Chain A
Amino acid sequence: MARSARDQILGAIRASHKRGPLDGDAAEPARVRLETHPRGLIPARSRIAPAEQVALFVEMAQAVAATVDRVDTLADVPDSVADFLAGHNLPAAIKVAPDPDLRRIPWAKRPVLEVAAGKAEDPDIVSVTGAVAGVAETGTLMLASGPDSPTTLNFLPDNHIVVLRTTRIVGPYEDAWDRLRARGDLPRTVNLITGPSRTGDIEQVIQLGAHGPRRLHIVLVDRDDAA
């Protein structure tokens, strides 16, 4: 019987290495690596205390043209969002991820806001989502797909607003991976987002808003007001 392409490719790899399939002791280093997923070198920049992590996250996010607003509790988010929309002359309509945490935001405080929940549709101009973590090292947000966080919200609307508790800010990416692993299997899509969409494809001039959002606005929430 003719060998499958798969077996031929694996066979060719083994033939080039002049060995058979890896098993027993020979497979041990790779097995251990997969099992323990050891961390490599982590830059000193991100090995800092939590308070400094928040400051670094803000600095790095702003350096890539994201805007950041810092509020006390979730109750302050409607004002922050309404101000952002007004400041950019945007319509007061937002599509919000059906995230339980975001549901606790008292949007009614600002009756002008037209709030809908769900995935992004073509006419949506502004989305509001949460995030799994903020990575201070480069001002990067980690978002994970799921029934309460559709990925289209991160890419289709022109404006993406992320509501993030400061307790979710970590130093290096590796800490964010650990938080995600603690939630179970990897979701379908994990997005690491660092600033708004951009391109340098024409004469190497950087231009924001190539295909994804033109603006990325991050609302940091300092305190839990669960009470």
Chain B
Amino acid sequence: MKSTAHAFVENAREAVADRRLHKALSNMKAGFQNKRAATVAKLPEFEALRDQGRDIKNHVLANLDLYLERFERRVTQAGGQVHWARTAAEAREIVEGICRDAGAKTVTKGKSMVAEEIALNDHLEANGFTPIETDLGEYIIQLRGELPSHIIAPAIHLNKEDVEETFRKEHTHLPADRRFDDVPDFTNEARMVLRQKFQTADVGITGANYLIAETGSTVIVTNEGNGDLTQILPKTHIVVASIEKVVPTLEDATAILRLLARSATGQEFSAYTTFSTGPRRPGDLDGPEAFHVVLLDNGRSALLGTPAQEVLRCIRCGACMNHCPVYAAVGGHAYGWVVPGPIGAALDPGLIGVEEAHHLPNASTFCGRCESVCPMRIPLPKIMHHWRTQAFEKKLSSPSFRLGLKTWAWVAKRPGLYAVGSRLAIGLLAALGGRRGRFATLPLARGWTDHRDMPAPEGKTFRQAWADRRKHEAA
């Protein structure tokens, strides 16, 4: 998809002022954080399972070529076909070609972030196919011409009123006086409308949560059942997946499944976890006649062996964004690319370039909540720090920012000077703050004082206070 990550600062400013967005995002704490905490508390082994998940994926990344070759061999043995795509453009063309060969008109789709990454819908439409998103959230945003704002809850930025407006506008064949009193009214309407689309689609496209090298299976994890209807009803099933999704065995997939739903939605297990291996077998009464897997690299192989390699352990659960104060304030669209939130800040510069995405790693206070909930123990702040360093070295930040940073570094590397300077500055601010004890405006700190007062220091630097305490303890 086309990135607007370069405009993050402007995007974020708009988002912060959007009250409808804040109302929608205010459901996240009860919806995601509390549920995760409650479910994790019921599984004493959860922390040990996180260690195990990290180790499995590290082993996979170190042996990625071997496991991909094995996966390909198994898919072929099961009667399916594997296609390799270096870039988004290659992946789009492969999918288009399969749809063309299948004589397809309509194409149903399960939710796939890789399909979003390669902007598949636009490409299919431009070539005369009709792609239909079937995940409820994806369906809503497709009708609205929007992009997902969250990797597992694509329409999290919307309220019921927004969905009602969209359904009334798009479903014009339904009675205009029908009522939308509560959530079931929306779900039932979407179910009814999409039922028919499932039955008539020629091709079904899904993503994959895992690819299993041992068996050549692709795995999807869903709650709605739309992904399953997408892949069992049409004659052709296409899976689009990125190369790092491969795991060695069914046992390895199972080990990571114990982490996925708990981290994502706070469920013990998602409603549907489906393993697909090749096309329908002789004697089967249903299932697709053709099975294709499109493996996408799109910059991932180049991240191996770099400090950013660990982002490739990501299982796309969304826990990091569910717990991120910055995501909660600006939502997913502000990030400007398919993967938002802390994992986006760590991954996107690697996939779309640090030139395009260098603002994203700055959208963090390094508070560390993301890393503390990541089921795969990805050191997200450390990787964001890596990209910040790259951006600095490539001179991507503004000259004043760089001058400020350089001055700071020069002073901070001279402890004597730092002590004197900070003592003077703190003393001066304490005196100026006076009785009020805070500043409404402060030069060089408008980013802070535009939105809230800056408390005045109380008179001593941290280092002075620390020295006093040591003296006190020794006495």
Contact = CB atoms under 8 A, between A and B. Distances in A.
A193 B63 CA distance: 31
Contacts of B153: 200-201, 204
Given A204-B27, A211-B229, A30 B67 contact: yes
Contact of A155 (B183, B225, B251, B283): B225
A10 B69 contact: yes
A188 B280 contact: yes
Contacts of B85: 5
B252 interface: yes
Contact of A203 (B27, B44, B194): B27
A116 interface: no
Determine the interface band of chain B, counting residues with CB < 8 A from chain A. Answer: 35 or more
Contact of A13 (B52, B184, B270, B304): B304
Interface stretch (B213-221, B341-349, B416-424): B213-221
B28 A152 contact: no
A17 B195 CA distance: 47
A183 interface: no
Given A40-B52, A155-B228, A174-B254, A9 B248 contact: no
Given A186-B275, A188-B277, A204-B31, A154 B286 contact: no
Contacts of A198: 223-224, 271
Given A10-B65, A22-B63, A22-B65, A204 B228 contact: no
A78 interface: no
Given A150-B285, A173-B254, A201-B154, A193 B52 contact: no
A146 B282 CA distance: 9
A226 interface: no
Contacts of A202: 136-137, 140, 155, 158, 160, 163, 183, 186-187
A151 B224 contact: no
Interface string A40-60: 110111000000000000001
A202 B302 CA distance: 38
Contact of A138 (B154, B186, B229, B268): B268
Interface in A114-138: 118-120, 122, 138
B315 to A, nearest CB: 15
Interface in A13-72: 13-14, 16-18, 21-22, 27, 29-30, 33-34, 37-41, 43-45, 60, 63-64
B258 interface: yes
Contacts of A155: 225, 228-229, 232
B70 interface: yes
Interface residues of A, number: 77
Contacts of A43: 43-45, 49, 258
Given A198-B224, A203-B24, A192 B86 contact: no
B159 A13 contact: no
A208 to B, nearest CB: 9
Contact of B252 (A17, A40, A191, A204): A40
18 contacts: A5-B85, A9-B68, A12-B302, A17-B62, A37-B248, A37-B251, A37-B252, A40-B255, A41-B52, A60-B268, A145-B284, A152-B232, A154-B228, A155-B228, A188-B276, A189-B232, A197-B225, A200-B31
Given A155-B225, A187-B281, 15 more contacts: A13-B68, A16-B304, A17-B304, A33-B252, A41-B255, A145-B286, A150-B285, A189-B276, A197-B223, A199-B224, A202-B160, A203-B27, A210-B224, A211-B134, A211-B225
- 8 A-B pairs closest in CB distance: A212-B225, A204-B31, A210-B224, A147-B283, A16-B304, A201-B137, A12-B301, A37-B249
Interface of B: 24, 27-28, 30-32, 43-45, 48-49, 52, 56, 59, 62-70, 72, 78, 84-86, 90, 134-137, 140, 153-156, 158-160, 163, 183-184, 186-188, 190-191, 194-195, 198-199, 213-215, 217, 223-226, 228-229, 232-233, 243, 248-252, 254-255, 257-258, 265, 267-281, 283-287, 295, 297, 301-306
